[in-house]
Structure 1
Amino acid sequence: MPVESTYAPIEIPDVDIYTLMFDRPNKDFSDDHVMLVDAKTSRQLTYGECAARSKELGIGLKTLWGWRKGDVMAVFTFNNVESPLLAWGVLWAGGILSPANPGYTLDEFVYQLKNCEAKAITTQAECLPLVREAAKKVGIPESRILILGDTKVPGFQQLSELKNMSHREVKLTKRPKFDTSKDLAFLVYSSGTTGLPKGVMLSHRNIVANILQGAVAEGRKLKAGEDSILGFLPFFHIYGLTCIMHASFYLGIRLVIMERFDLERFCQLVEKWKITFVYVVPPVILGLAKSPVVSKYDLSSVKMMNSGAAPLTSEIQEAIYKRLGIKTKQGYGLSETSPTTHAQRWEDWKDKIGSVGPLLPNMTAKYVGEDGLEVAAGQTGELWLKGPNIMMGYWKNAEATANCMTEDGYFKTGDVGHQDKDGDFYITDRVKELIKYKGFQVPPAELEGKIASHPKVDDVAVTGVWEDAQQTEVPRAYIVLAAGNQPTPEVAQEIIEFVAKNVAQHKRLRGGVKFVDVIPKSASGKILRRVLRDQAKAEKKKEGPKL
C-alpha cells in the first residue's frame, strides 16, 4: 500500500513565488532584518531592500525589453549576493529562470540555450567570453546579455543599471496573472549522467509547495534573528536554488553567500559569521572530517548540517561528529521533486543514522520491485513519489516524461531503498548504479562509506567493471589517497583486505583498486560513475582480449 507522510497535511496557498516571499503581512521579522550577506565584501541586504530591488529589476526587464510572461532568462554565474534579486526580478515579471553550470563547455551551454529557448542571458565578467560566443551561436544579441556583480564591462548592461532604469519610467507596469500549477518558474537541467541533460519543468506551485513543506521540517529548529546559513552550494542547482536561496529566505534566516566552495574559506566564514546551519554534500563532510586545515578554526557555532544530493554513509557521519562534535542529518530529493521529499528530524540524527527521514507533508510514496509490483514495508524497492512538488514533466520531451511518470501521478525516482517501522526512509543507491555481481546487488555507496573510513583514503568512488573471466560485473574502487601516502600495490592490497573484512563476500573489491588524482563529480557533488565506467572500458579496449 502507498505510504502517506506522517506529518499533518498543510495548506498550500495559490500564490506565485514572489508573492510568497514578499507579500507577507504576518512574517515574524521586520523589513530591516538582514537577509543576505556577501561573504567576499560583507555587503548586507535587508528584507525590505530585497523586496524593492527585485521588483525594480522586474519592472526594468519589462520596460527595457518588453519582457513577457513565459520568457526564459538563462543564468550563467557563480553564486553572488545579487543572484536572488535576479531570480525574484525575473519571477516578478512572469519570466522563467533557467540556471546553467558556469563550468559548462561552450557546446554544453549552447545546448541548454537552444533547448530552453532563452530570450536573454545573465552572466559575470569572468564568464563573458564563453557567453558571448554561445549567444552568437544561438542568435541572442549582445544587448540582451546582463552582467551581474560589481565588475563593469564596457558595452554591456549591469544588472544594477537595469534596475535603475525603472526610475525613469513614469508608468509602472503591472504583474501578469499566474496559473500557479501550470506556469513555469524554473527550468533546471538534470546532471546528464545518463545522456543529454533534460529540462525539468518546475511550476510556481511546485516551488511554493516545497518551500512550505521544508519549513515544516526545518522551521521548527531555525529562528529568524538567531540563526545563520552559509550558502556555498551552487544556485544553478535545484538544491541551492530552492533550499538555500528560497527556503532560508522564507524563514527569515540570514544567508551568507559564498561564490564557490573552498574548505578553508568555508571554515573562516563559519567562524566569522557564527554560522549555525549548513546545507552540505557528502564530499564536504568528508573534507571536514579529514582535512588538517579544519583544526585552525572554531566551528562550534554549527548546530546541525543537512546533507543531500548523494548518499551519506554512517562512517562519514560518525567521523565528523567524533572530530568536531558537529551533528549531521540527511535529506533526500531530486531536481524533479523541487527538490526535497524527505528530511531527517533533528532529534533523529544519531538514532537514525543512514535514514533520510520521513516524507514531507502532503506526499505519498511507495516502493516497487523489478516486476513492477509494490513490495511490503521493510523490503527493498524503487522509490515512487507523489505530491504537489512533483515536476510538470521534462521540457519538450514527452517520451522521457512518460517513462518516469505513472498515469496516477507517481514519479519513478530511480533510487532504491526501504522504509522502517517508524516511517523513516533509507535510500541505498541508484537503480542504474547498482553493481550486479553474479546476481547479487552491490550498492556502491555502501562500499564508499567503508573505504572512506580508512586512514589512507581521502576520497573514493566505486563502480562496476565487467570481468570476462567470470562473466559478471565486479566492484572496483577509484581512490584519492590522503596526503603522505604513495599509490603502491601494497597500499592497494591493504585497502582490498580492509574492505573484505568489513563486507559480505559478494561485495568485495574483485575489480581491484585504481589510484586517481581526483574523483569526477557533478556540480552538486554527485559522483559521475559513468565517467569512471567509460574510463574502465577504454582501458580494457586498449589492453585487448585476454586469452
Structure 2
Amino acid sequence: MPTESTFPSIPIPDVDLWTFMFERKPEERQYPDDRVIYIDPDTKRSYTYAQVRSVALDFGKGLKANWGWEKGDVLAFYTPNCIDTPAVTWGTHWAGGVLSPANPGYTAEELAFQLKDSGAKALITQKPFLSAAREACQKVGIPDDRIILMGDERDVTGRFKHFSSIRNISGVSRFRKVKLNPKKDLAFLVYSSGTTGHPKGVMLSHTNIVSNVLMGYQGEGGNLSWKGGKDNQGDRILAFLPFFHIYGLTCLVHQALYSGWTLVVMPKFDLERFCTHIQNYRITFAYVVPPVVLALGKSPVVSKYDLSSIRMLNSGAAPLTRDLVEAVWKRLKIPIKQGYGLSETSPTTHTQRWQDWQATIGSVGYLLPNQVAKYMSADETEVPAGQTGELWIKGPNIFLGYLNNPAGTANALTADGYFKTGDVGHQDKAGNFFITDRVKELIKYKGFQVPPAELEGLLLGHPDVDDAAVIGVYNAEQATEVPRAYVVPRKGIEGTKEKERDIMQWIEKKVASHKKLRGGVVFVDDVPKSASGKILRRVLKERVLEEQKKALKAKL
C-alpha cells in the first residue's frame, strides 16, 4: 500500500498566489504590515510586507496599461537574486501572467531556447546581463521595448526602462486583478534539463505553489518564527539559493512572505560574504546545498567568523553524506537536516524533522502532508518497505505536465496522478525515506542539472572529435558530481593534454558555467554502446569505480 504522510493533513485553499499572499484575513497573517521581509545586505535596501504589495500592485497595473498584458502571458526572468524579484513576480500574477525564470549563466543561445519554448512576451533582467539578454530576445523576436531592468543599476541611455517606470504611470485605477483558476492556470514555467539535451518547461499551477508553501511550513514544525529569539527580531534567513531555481523560488521567496521571516538576499553564493552576513545579521537559518556544507566543514575561511547564531541548516538539491553532516557538527556545532524535492513537485516533498536530524542522517526524512508515495520496481509493481525501487509521489503539489511535450508528460505522470520521480531509494520501518541513486542520467553539479546528451551533441560538433559520451563523476573535494567527457579523437589526432584543454575550452564558450567539463576529457578508442546505438554510460561509470578502487589500493 502507498505510504501516507505522518504529518496531519492540511486544508489547501482554492486561491491564486496573489490572494494567498495579500488577501489573507488578519488572523491568518500574524505579522504586521511594516515587517521587513527582504533585505539587500550590500545596498541596505529593503521591502516591508506593505511595500512588496504596493509595488507589486503598481507593476501589475503597469503591465496592463503599457503592454496590454493578458491572462497567460509569460514574463521571463534572466537575473541573479534581487530583492525586486518578489514584487515583480506577484505583480505579474496579479495581471494574470506566468513567470519563467532562466539561469543568468545561460548563453544567449540557451536563453533563446527558453524564451521561444515558453512563448515569453517580455524579459526582465539586470544591466550587466543586457547584452546576452538582448541577443537572445533578437533571436526570438522580442523587441527592445519589452526588455526591462530591475535592481539598482539603470540604463543611462534611457533605451531600456526600469521596472519602476513600468509601474509609475497615471490612470491605472481602472484595471482590476485577473480572475484565475488556481488548479489549472499556470503561475510558473520553470525549466528542468532533460536527458534529450533540451530543457523541459515544468508547468506549475497556483495551487501547486500554494500547497507546497503550506506543506513546507508544516515541515519546519513551527521552529521558525517572525518574532522572538534573543533580540526579539524573529528568524533571519540567508538567501543565496538562486531564485530562478524552484528550491529558492518556493522555499525562500514565497515562504518568507507567507511566514514573515526576514530574508537577507545574496545575488549568488560567496563563502566569505556568506559568513560575513551570518555574523553581521545574526542569521538563524539557511537553506543550503552539499558543497556549502563541505565548505563549512573544511574551509579555513569559516574560522574567522562567528556563526553561532545559526540554529539549523537545511540541505537539499543533491544527496548529503553522513561525513559532511558530522564534520560541520564537530567543528561548528551547527545541526543540518536534509530535505528532498524536484521541480515537478514544486519542490519539497520530504524533510527531516528538526529533532530527528542526528538520528536519521542520510535520510531525506518524512513525507510532507497531503501526499502519498510508493517505491516501484522496474516492472511497475510496488515494493515493500526496505526494498529498493523508484519513488512515485502523488499530491496537490505535483506539476501539470511539460510544456509542448505530451510524450514527456505521459512518461512522467500516471493515469491516477502519480509522478515518477526517476529517483531510486527505499523506506525504513520508521517511515524515513532514503534516496540512493537516479534512474535518470542527469548529472547534478552543485544542484544544477547537466544533461549529458546536450554536451555530447556539442562535442560531436568539434572538428577533432569522432564520438563522445559524458557522465557525472563524483568529486569529493567539491562534494558534487562534475561532467567528464570520454572522447574518441578523429583519426590522426593525438589525445594530448593540449588537446584536452582545447576541447574543454571549446565547450566552455558554448555553455553555462555549471555545464563545463570540470571532470576533464578522457580519450578512448571507442564509446560503449548497445546494439540499438544507445550509449552505455553504466559501463563508463563502472570503469570509473574500478579506477577509484585501484587508486585507493595504491595509497594503502
Report the TM-score range of the alignment, normalised by the length of the smaller protein.
0.7 to 0.9
**What CA deviation, in whole Å up to 9, does each residue of 1:428-472 have, x standing for no partner?**
12123599xxxxxxxx99x95xx84xxxx4555388999xxxxxx
Equivalent residue pairs, number: 472
CA contact (8 A) 2:363 2:432 kept: yes
Correspondence list, 1:192-341, <5 A: 192=194, 194-225=196-227, 226-341=234-349
Are the counterparts in 2 of residues 72 and 119 from structure 1 also a CA contact under 8 Å?
A: yes
Q: Kindly indicate whether the alpha-carbon contact (under 8 Å) linking 1:248 and 1:254 is maintained by their aligned counterparts in 2.
A: yes
- Residue 356 of structure 1, aligned match among 348, 364, 368: 364
Using the size of structure 2 for normalisation, the TM-score is: 0.80
Q: Secondary structure at the match of 2:91?
A: helix
CA distance in 1, matches of 2:43, 2:221: 29
Inter-partner Cα distance in structure 1 for 2:55 and 2:527: 60
Partner of 2:453: none
Match for residue 19 of structure 2? Answer: 19
Counterpart residue identity of residue 162, structure 1: I
- Please name the residue that 1:162 is paired with: 166
Shift of 1:176: 1.2
Other-structure match for 2:536: none
Q: Using the alignment, how far apart are the partners of 1:392 and 1:29 within structure 2?
A: 33
Instruction: After TM superposition, give the deviation of residue 133 of structure 1 in Å.
Output: 1.1
Given that residues 100 and 118 in structure 2 are in contact (C-alpha distance below 8 angstroms), is that contact kept between their aligned partners in structure 1?
yes
Residue type of the alignment partner of 1:145: I
* 1:9 lines up with 2:9 in the alignment: yes
In structure 2, C-alpha distance between the alignment counterparts of 1:159 and 1:421, rounded to whole Å: 53
Distance 1:305 1:404 in 2: 31
> What is the alpha-carbon distance in structure 2 between the residues aligned to residue 415 and residue 384 of structure 1?
9
Question: C-alpha displacement at 1:371, in angstroms?
Answer: 2.1
Gaps of 5+ in 1: 436-443, 467-515
Q: Structure 2: how far apart are the matches of 1:524 and 1:106?
A: 10
Name the SS of the counterpart of 2:223 in structure 1. Answer: coil
Partners of 2:183 and 2:523 in 1: CA distance = 49
Distance 1:222 1:174 in 2: 35
Counterpart check, 1:540 vs 2:524: yes
Per the alignment, do residues 426 and 219 of structure 1 end up closer, same or farther by CA in structure 2, a change over 3 Å counting? same
| Aligned partner letter, 2:32 | S
Aligned residue identity for 1:232: F
Distance 1:459 1:204, change over 3 A: closer
Q: Which residue is 2:128 aligned to? A: 126
TM-aligned CA distance change 1:458 to 1:88, over 3 Å: closer
Give the letter for the 1:293 counterpart.
V
The 3-state SS of whatever aligns with 1:127 is helix
Distance 1:399 1:320 in 2: 44
* Partner residue, 1:67: 69
Partner of 1:149: 151
Q: Is the 8 A contact 1:78 1:259 kept in 2?
A: yes
SS state at 1:319 partner: helix
Q: Deviations over 1:310-342 (max 9, x none)?
A: 001111111111111110000000000000000
> Counterpart amino acid of 1:10?
I
Q: Partner letter of residue 2 of structure 2?
A: P
Identity of aligned residues (%): 55
Moved over 6 A (4+): 462-466
Partner of 1:371: 379
Q: What residue ranges of structure 2 are gaps of 5+ in the alignment?
A: 228-233, 444-470, 487-503, 529-556
CA drift at 1:163: 1.8
Alignment of 1:418-429 (within 5 A): 418-429=426-437
- Measured in 1, the distance between the counterparts of 2:302 and 2:142 equals 45
Give the counterpart letter for 1:136 in structure 2: Q
Q: 1:175 to 1:532 in 2, by over 3 A?
A: same
User: Structure 1 pair 542/125, CA: closer, same or farther in 2 (3 Å)?
Assistant: farther
CA shift, 1:136, in A, is 1.1
Is the Cα–Cα contact under 8 Å of residues 291 and 480 in structure 2 kept in the other structure? no
Closer/same/farther in 2, CA of residues 10 and 68 from structure 1, 3 Å limit: same
- Choose which of 140, 144, 148 in structure 2 pairs with 1:138: 140
Aligned to 1:50: 52
RMSD between superposed Cα atoms in Å: 2.7
Contact 1:77 1:123 in 2 (8 A): yes
The equivalent residue for 1:104 is: 106
Deviation at 1:370, TM superposition (A): 1.6
Counterparts in 2 of 1:62 and 1:460: CA distance versus 1, 3 Å: closer
Q: Classify the secondary structure of the residue corresponding to 2:180.
A: coil
Provide, for residues 162-220 of structure 1, a one-character-per-residue CA deviation record: whole Å limited to 9, x for no partner. Answer: 1212xx11533011111111000000000345521000000000000000111111151
Give distance in 1, aligned partners of 2:387 and 2:512: 29
> Secondary structure at 1:331's aligned position in 2?
strand
Cα distance change of structure 1 residues 415 and 542 upon mapping to structure 2, 3 Å threshold = closer
> Could you tell me how far apart the structure 2 residues matched to 1:185 and 1:173 are?
20
